[in-house]
A and B are shown apart, each in its own frame.
Chain A
Amino acid sequence: MPLATTPADIEALDALAQRLMGIFTRAGYERIAPAVIQPAGLFLDVVGEELRARTYVFTDPDGAELCLRPDLTVPTCRLHLERHAGGNTPARYCYSGSAFRYQPAGADRAHPREFRQAGIESFGAPDRERDDAAVLALIVEALRDAGLDGLEFRIGDLGLFTALVNALPMPERWRWRLKHQFWRPEAFRSELARLTSGAGQTMGLPRELLDRLDPADPGGAEALVIEYLDKSGHELIGARTASEIAQRLLAEAADMRETPLPAETAALIEGYVGVKAPARETVDGLARLTRGHGVDLSAGLDAYQRRLDLIGKAGVSLSGAEFSAEFGRNLEYYTGFVFEVMAPALGHKSPVAGGGRYDSLLAEVGARGQVPAVGACIHTERLLAALPEAAP
């Protein structure tokens, strides 16, 4: 990865960023420059401690906890909400700027701690598949305009996983747990194992109390919790109330009495997570996988196919693209379509661009309710490194 060190490098990088911004603004995206320094609290509440470990957090002389933005998506969401309280006003933004990430194994050319992103974010467009396709197509147009050829694609669709879990018979809270833990493969596997075999166990929780709890009587459950605490000599300390503790124990009691998840259902979920297929064969493959299980994935699969067709109509061929059910699993805020664009010169470990749909993020940052949102960004330095010498 060439760090811009010579005047020629610096000019080439600036010119490239300028060119990308030209493509984005001409497509109707408004250029913005979100603040580099962000309030740490909000960021960390949204992205969690895992990204915090890679975020430069510091305290200013007034004691305020701040951070250097680890990406530009959350800052763009914040800026949007400052302009439009509620967040549901449709808007399209583009930006070019630096993001900062601590590299645990040490920063080097392939893993810089400071790197430029040129990106687009589209909020509030109601036709999700059309907007997914438009964002991917615009990123591809920008890469081609910069002079990059031979693009390769990897795609995923977290909406298909949601559709599968929603279609399988199980209590709603179990669905929620599987979706919640989807991001962490190990925790996901143990959750699945627990629902399949361990649902009848108390897992160390006080059985004599669980047996007496009645899901139809939350008030009674709270009284039983207080009585149990009194008898065992434990005082209530901290912010959690007896009612909260009772609420959780009631869910556990309900799990204990629930019929465990059938082994073939767990096998189907695991089978889906392992799916890797050419993007265009995914629909047939998933239909085969779910045949005989009595699950109807048609809504999710129709959306997938429609998006694929719209991408094709926009002039991007995904004939060589790979679909991976697991793709997107390490990027917690994505909720639907996800993609990466690779340049052969850089290999699959250093995608030159990537993005996806994140319909929950604006709500996390403060919008009233979910707002459709999709975005993507180009790693500007990587793109420069991938370009043939003479281009553009």
Chain B
Amino acid sequence: MNGKLILALPSKGRLMEQCNTALAKAGLTITRSGPARGYKGEIDGLPGVEVNFVSSSEIAQLLRTGAAHIGVTGEDLIRETMADADERVRFLKGLGFGRADVVVAVPACWLDVRRMADLEQMSVLFRRLHGRRVRVATKYVNLTRRFFAQTGVTGYRIAESLGATEGTPAAGLAELIVDITTTGATLGANGLKVLDDGVILESQANLVASKAAPWTPELAAIEAQIAARFHAMREA
């Protein structure tokens, strides 16, 4: 690194747009620099900062390894990437956008399953009748394992799903899913319901600092400045 504070921001999609709006509200103007693709940038008035535009899931990796000092990404991606997130990063500020719940959803026709405890009972019978474990389709492999272990659910297998997860039960590719939802409408349209105690995480975009990054007193001061701008934005 070049002694600058590395700030990792989402490079595309809705999260990038919402992030730009939030930055503008916080009075932080970003100028893209470097080669034509513009995956680097600067903040006007803060010469000690280098902005890197990367995909949101990569931001979690950069914060984990310390290749970025701070970044903006969803809490769901941070907690999925790091089992011990609170040991490795500091959550500086929830930014109020990118809100989504990570939930356990099962077919609405499962009248006998409302809670995680029902799921465990059901999975035992399922295994006996079908000769295999119930499959949980998700891209949140680690969040799923941790939550299921906490709630005493064991009789399942994870089927990794990288898209259209909510369609997998109807397609016969999985029995239930762990996915993000905002209003629940997509789940409902796919014949699914969220379990009563099945909310794993209420996520939103966060300003997050890496504990593994090479911090100096100067960089810590810049971090405080940036965080203060975001805090002022809320109170304004």
Consensus secondary structure, chain A interface: helix
A171-228 interface (Cβ within 8 A of B)? 177, 180-181, 183-184, 186-188, 190-191, 194, 203-206, 209, 225, 228
Which listed residue, A48, A53, A183, A205, touches B111 by the CB 8 Å rule?
Answer: A205
Interface string of B175-190 (1 = CB under 8 A from A): 1000000000000000
Closest to A225 in B: B111
Interface string of B85-109 (1 = CB under 8 A from A): 0000000000000000000000111
Q: Which of B142, B157, B170 lies at the interface centre, i.e. has the most chain A CB atoms within 10 A of its CB?
A: B157
Give the complex CA separation of A297 and B197 in angstroms: 38
Output the least CB separation between A2 and chain B (Å).
27
Which listed residue, B112, B113, B148, touches A49 by the CB 8 Å rule?
Answer: B148
A252 within 8 A of B: yes
- Whether A48 contacts B154 by the Cβ 8 Å rule is yes
- Whether B169 contacts A237 by the Cβ 8 Å rule is yes
Which listed residue, B115, B125, B142, B151, touches A203 by the CB 8 Å rule?
Answer: B115
- For the complex, count residues of B whose C-beta is within 8 A of A: 41
B-chain residues with CB within 8 Å of residue A204 when the two chains form the complex? 114-115, 196
A245 within 8 A of B: yes
Closest to B174 in A: A238
Which listed residue, A50, A203, A240, touches B145 by the CB 8 Å rule?
Answer: A50
- Whether B191 contacts A53 by the Cβ 8 Å rule is no
Q: Which of B31-39, B55-63, B129-137, B215-223 contacts A (4 or more CB under 8 A)?
A: B129-137
B111-141 interface (Cβ within 8 A of A)? 111-115, 117-118, 120-122, 124-126, 129-130, 132-133
B-chain residues with CB within 8 Å of residue A61 when the two chains form the complex? none
Output the least CB separation between A146 and chain B (Å).
36
B-chain residues with CB within 8 Å of residue A181 when the two chains form the complex? 120, 152
A86-128 interface (Cβ within 8 A of B)? 104-105
Say yes or no: A247-B125 contact (C-beta < 8 A), given A187-B117, A237-B107: yes
A-chain residues with CB within 8 Å of residue B152 when the two chains form the complex? 181, 184, 186-188, 190-191
Output the least CB separation between A101 and chain B (Å).
14
Which listed residue, B111, B118, B124, touches A206 by the CB 8 Å rule?
Answer: B111
- Whether B175 contacts A238 by the Cβ 8 Å rule is yes
Say yes or no: A45-B157 contact (C-beta < 8 A), given A52-B145, A244-B126: yes
- Whether A248 contacts B125 by the Cβ 8 Å rule is yes
B235 within 8 A of A: no
Give the complex CA separation of A186 and B152 in angstroms: 7
A13 within 8 A of B: no
- Whether A248 contacts B170 by the Cβ 8 Å rule is no
Say yes or no: A45-B133 contact (C-beta < 8 A), given A50-B154, A187-B152: yes
- Whether B145 contacts A180 by the Cβ 8 Å rule is no
- Whether A205 contacts B112 by the Cβ 8 Å rule is yes
- Whether B115 contacts A245 by the Cβ 8 Å rule is no
Output the least CB separation between B221 and chain A (Å).
30
Give the complex CA separation of A210 and B46 in angstroms: 65
Closest to A190 in B: B117
- Chain A to chain B contacts (Cβ below 8 Å), 12 pairs: A44-B157, A45-B133, A48-B155, A49-B148, A52-B158, A180-B120, A181-B152, A187-B120, A187-B152, A205-B111, A205-B118, A237-B109
Closest 10 CB pairs of A and B: A187-B152, A204-B114, A248-B112, A184-B152, A234-B109, A234-B108, A237-B170, A249-B112, A238-B169, A236-B109
Chain B residues packing against A (C-beta within 8 Å): 83-84, 107-115, 117-118, 120-122, 124-126, 129-130, 132-133, 142, 145, 148-152, 154-158, 169-170, 172, 175, 191, 196
